[in-house]
Amino acid sequence: MSSIILFNPQSSASAKPVLPMSLLAVGAVLEGKHRYVIVDGNLEKNPYSALRAAIDQVPDRPILGVTVMPGPQLERAVPICRELKEIYPRLIVIWGGYFPTQHWESCLRSSFVDIVIRGHGELVLLAYLDQLDSGEEDLAAIPGLAHRNPAGKPVTNPLAPIPNPEELPPWNFDHIPVAKYLRNTFLGTRTLGYHSSYGCPFFCNFCAVVNMVNGRWIPQSAKTVARNMVTYHNRWGVNAVEFNDNNFFTSQARVAEFAERIMDLDMAWWGEGRIDTLQMYSQDTWRKMRDSGLRMVFMGAESGSNETLKRMDKGGKMSVENTLEMARFMRSWNIVPEFSFVLGNPPDPEEDSRKTIELIRQVKKVNPDAEIIMYLYTPVPLAGELYDEAKAEGFAFPNSLEEWVSPEWLNFSQRRSGNIPWINSKLRNQIHDFERVVNAYYPTSTNGRLTKNRRVFLRVLSAWRYHLRLYRLPVELQLAQKLVSYQRPETSGF
């Protein structure tokens, strides 16, 4: 029986405690077969010391499994894993998650990552640990594994099938202090995360999920999800849930049944969906969602250009007109739409950004409570028209982890890079200035600390800029940010 330390590196500058669902899911399949502990960098004051203490308790062959997202997690995972490998040369370091799935070659070119698990890793990790225990060394036989061949060259096996979350064992919450993950958010005073499905049936070519699931979507049943919500409510007093599924609303029948089953829990909830999918829902389903506690839905509006939406391979019936209609429609149900936009798309980033800014203004006009999340377009390693156009502009991903954790590429990972070839500094500043103005004129509804008087102050201060479309150099709003500390949507409770 192997022993593995599952490590969740700190995922934000504030170390916001977010339930380590990926590690709970991995740990669930290891129960009774392999020993594991979870070390969460969002909770530990010194995760490096906590990891060393955990490794020292393994008598023979220590194994470290690390979940890695681009950005802050990658920035912290690299130096910690490097130092641990130097101190414990026999330590087997395994990386999994979004970043290693996409950039497995860069990971395996380092001296401190031994194995990469690509895609959903529960059964892949179990197969690898079983193989270690049996003494076999046929890494090429495990789907979903990337490794070094005998010549030391990084190679990858085909991705493993997506596991069915309905058939996976339940998470063992005894491995973590659940009470420390309860947060006070826009949704409720005791908010906790959950993940009820794997994958997404769409092929948007700017989304990292596509490479992992190839159009598959496999959910837990409404009955299972509702049963787990009852556990959340009864065991920890949870009164709000964030569903972190890539596409929670794929099936209207599942959502309607789920809403019916939790109607009496008095539990608010949030999830991510598609505009065109939700537009196909019946009035009865919307009524059930609202009455069961749905407070906000995150949706990818993406662009104010129908031409860009086509190049994104959004699929379905996505259009600028649909976004505006959804903004109007959700206001009538008193459910907040949270729209994300990707600005600066090639081949004409200036025109794309202009159209998107105008759409954001129209959205705010028909629904002032709509939340607006703005990103700069950054490619993912996936064939598609936008990626091809980015490469034509001279774009290329780094080859090493050392380059990935440089300030330039860390900013890129968080979609705020200052060195994207097709977005010049003038356009970047225009987008940033507009973002500051619109967030002052329409302060986010998710900030409960922003009083009515402060909202009025911000609106008056920014009104002339917003109405005249004079966004450049809003220094007075920068000062207001320091004085009033108004919260922008991307730093809200979610």
Contacts by 83-86 with C-beta closer than 8 Å and gap 24+? 83/48, 84/48, 84/51, 84/52, 84/55, 84/112, 85/111, 85/112, 86/112
- Is the residue at 431 inside a domain? no
- Is the residue at 256 inside a domain? yes
Pairwise CA distance, residues 312 & 331, whole Å? 27
CATH number at residue 11: 3.40.50.2300
CATH number at residue 215: 3.80.30.20
Last residue of a domain, one of 392, 418, 447: 392
Is there a single domain that holds both residue 111 and residue 19? Answer: yes
pLDDT at 54: 97
Is there a single domain that holds both residue 257 and residue 213? Answer: yes
Is there a single domain that holds both residue 144 and residue 192? Answer: no
pLDDT tens per residue, range 12-30: 888 789 999 999 999 999 9
Which of 66-80, 206-220, 237-251, 282-296 bottoms out in mean pLDDT, i.e. has the lowest?
206-220
**H-only helix segments in 248-334:** 252-261, 275-278, 283-292, 306-311, 320-333
Is there a single domain that holds both residue 152 and residue 275? Answer: no
Pairwise CA distance, residues 459 & 206, whole Å? 34
pLDDT tens per residue, range 238-296: 999 999 999 999 999 999 999 999 999 999 999 999 999 999 999 999 999 999 999 99
Task: Answer for the pair 193, 229: CB distance below 8 angstroms, yes or no.
Answer: no
β-bridge partners, 4: 36, 63
β-bridge partners, 65: 6, 94
- Is the residue at 33 inside a domain? yes
pLDDT at 382: 63
- Is the residue at 11 inside a domain? yes
**Span 55-61, mean pLDDT?**
90
pLDDT tens per residue, range 27-36: 999 999 999 9
DSSP string across 335-362: -EEEEEEEE--SS-HHHHHHHHHHHHHH
pLDDT at 493: 34
Q: Report the interhelical angle of 222-236 vs 252-261 (nearest 10°).
A: 30
CB count within 10 Å of CB 259 equals 22
Pairwise CA distance, residues 121 & 116, whole Å? 10
**Span 189-211, mean pLDDT?**
86
Is there a single domain that holds both residue 204 and residue 338? Answer: yes
Work out the pLDDT band at 301, boundaries 50, 70, 90: very high
Is there a single domain that holds both residue 240 and residue 353? Answer: yes
CB count within 10 Å of CB 10 equals 20
- Tell me the Ramachandran region of residue 384: left when phi exceeds 0, alpha when psi lies from -120 to 50, beta otherwise: left
Work out the pLDDT band at 106, boundaries 50, 70, 90: very high
- Is the residue at 177 inside a domain? no
Is there a single domain that holds both residue 316 and residue 234? Answer: yes
Is there a single domain that holds both residue 308 and residue 387? Answer: yes
Does residue 94 have a pLDDT over 70?
yes
pLDDT tens per residue, range 243-256: 999 999 999 999 99
β-bridge partners, 273: 299
Per cent of the chain over pLDDT 90 is: 78
Is there a single domain that holds both residue 31 and residue 112? Answer: yes
Which residues form the domain of 472?
A: 437-494
3-state secondary structure of 389: helix
Work out the pLDDT band at 317, boundaries 50, 70, 90: confident
- Is the residue at 63 inside a domain? yes
Higher pLDDT, 444 or 38: 38
Tally of structural domains, the chain: 3
pLDDT at 384: 67
Last residue of a domain, one of 392, 419, 452: 392
Q: Which residue has the tokens 């909202």?
A: 455
Is there a single domain that holds both residue 284 and residue 145? Answer: no
Task: Answer for the pair 38, 8: CB distance below 8 angstroms, yes or no.
Answer: yes
- Is the residue at 397 inside a domain? no
Last residue of a domain, one of 110, 138, 156: 156
pLDDT at 492: 36
Is there a single domain that holds both residue 39 and residue 108? Answer: yes
Is there a single domain that holds both residue 97 and residue 246? Answer: no
Work out the pLDDT band at 204, boundaries 50, 70, 90: confident
Work out the pLDDT band at 207, boundaries 50, 70, 90: confident
Work out the pLDDT band at 388, boundaries 50, 70, 90: confident
- Is the residue at 202 inside a domain? yes
AA identity, residue 39: V
pLDDT tens per residue, range 398-449: 999 999 999 888 888 776 666 678 889 999 999 999 999 999 999 988 887 7
